[in-house]
Amino acid sequence: MENLLLKVENIDVFHGDAQALWGVTFNVEQHKITALLGANGAGKSTLLRTISGANRPSRGRILYSQSLLVGLRPEKITAMGISHVPEGRRLFSSLTVLENLELGAYLPSVRPLTKESLERVFGLFPVLKSRIHQSSGTLSGGEQQMLAIGRALMARPNLLLLDEPSLGLAPIVIKLLFDTIRVLNQDGVTILLVEQNVRKTLEIADYVFVLKTGVMTMEGQPDQLLTNPEFRRAFLGRIG
């Protein structure tokens, strides 16, 4: 694993007095899809939010291609090439689809590329093109998730953090989204995916980490995990 894009080393994160992450260590390899699995409240979102600067670790380091991220503000981290698609999409619902996308390219370094970036996003999600003047609050759940991902792509990230993109969506929409995530990855975007949809995640991930109540408990390639009895008991019990 010499092509590391992101190294998270031994971080502790607190929400007030409650500790959410305990000495978490993991790596994201360049051009790969890395996934984080875990139940509700395991600390997956906290981990993503710590990488993108919304939370601060009280201990440990986060390295992104040789530079230290800890202590930087979210907008600075975005400017370094990490885009975060937060849980629940967090669109600007009174703004139109086009305005949401334009704001994705707010950074001065990517603003001149707005037109090309828009073409790229509409190539990935053609349905958005037919909705550009609609306010984003009126979109369906699937369309909103596409817009949230498209908006993050407007910043031309190297590393895309996706927090539960499948949440609340119909299976057919989930399939479409995961196909698109794979296409994005083939285009050279490194992906860190947080999910609860275990089977879908194992289909597309190159490497998987498992987080349980704030501690990294397991890791491995999907086929390794599928033969790991502990993993099967925890995640595939009813199916397996």
Partner 1 sequence: MHWFSSSTTFFQVLVNGVFLGCMYGVAAIGLSLIFGCMQIIFIAQGAVMILAAYCIFWMVSFSSISPFWGFLFIIPVFLGFGWAMYSGLFQRVAKTGKNPSLLLAFGLMVLLEQLMAFFFSSNFRSVPTKYASTALRLAEVTFSVNRIIVAFVAFISTALVFLFLRKTIIGKAVRAVSEDMEAAAFLGMRPEWVSAVTFSIGIALAGIAGVATCIIFPFDPYFGFIFSLKALIAVAFGGLGSVGGALLGGVILGVLESLSAYIIGGGWADAAAYAVFLLVLIFKPEGLLGRSYGEKA
State yes or no: residue 113 binds partner 1 (CB under 8 A): no
Question: Which residues from 139-198 bind partner 1, rule CB under 8 A?
Answer: 144, 151-152, 154-155
Q: Which helix (H) or strand (E) holds 74?
A: helix 74-79
State yes or no: residue 71 binds partner 1 (CB under 8 A): no
Question: Which residues from 206-225 bind partner 1, rule CB under 8 A?
Answer: none
Question: Which residues from 44-63 bind partner 1, rule CB under 8 A?
Answer: 52-54
d(CA 75, CA 18): 26
Binding segment (CB under 8 A) for partner 1, from list 15-23, 30-38, 71-79, 116-124 = 71-79
Q: In this complex, which beta carbon is closest to partner 1, that of residue 80 or of residue 236? A: 80
How many chain residues are in contact with partner 1, going by CB under 8 A?
Answer: 33
d(CA 53, CA 30): 20
Name the minimum Å distance from CB 53 to partner 1: 8
Contacts of 108 (CB under 8 A, 6+ apart): none
State yes or no: residue 123 binds partner 1 (CB under 8 A): no
At 49, is the secondary structure helix, strand, or coil?
Answer: helix
State yes or no: residue 78 binds partner 1 (CB under 8 A): yes
Q: In this complex, which beta carbon is closest to partner 1, that of residue 96 or of residue 217? A: 96
d(CA 139, CA 218): 38
Contacts of 240 (CB under 8 A, 6+ apart): 232
Binding segment (CB under 8 A) for partner 1, from list 97-105, 173-181, 190-198, 217-225 = 97-105
d(CA 67, CA 33): 21
Strand order in the sheet with 190-195: 82-85, 159-163, 190-195, 33-37, 207-212, 215-220
Contact 192, 7 (CB under 8 A): no
Binding segment (CB under 8 A) for partner 1, from list 59-67, 73-81, 184-192, 194-202 = 73-81
d(CA 97, CA 63): 34
Among 102, 122, 132, 175, binds partner 1 (CB under 8 A): 102
Instruction: Please report, as ranges, the residues that interact with partner 1 according to CB under 8 A.
Output: 52-54, 73-75, 78-79, 83-84, 86, 88-95, 99, 102-104, 106-107, 111, 137-138, 144, 151-152, 154-155
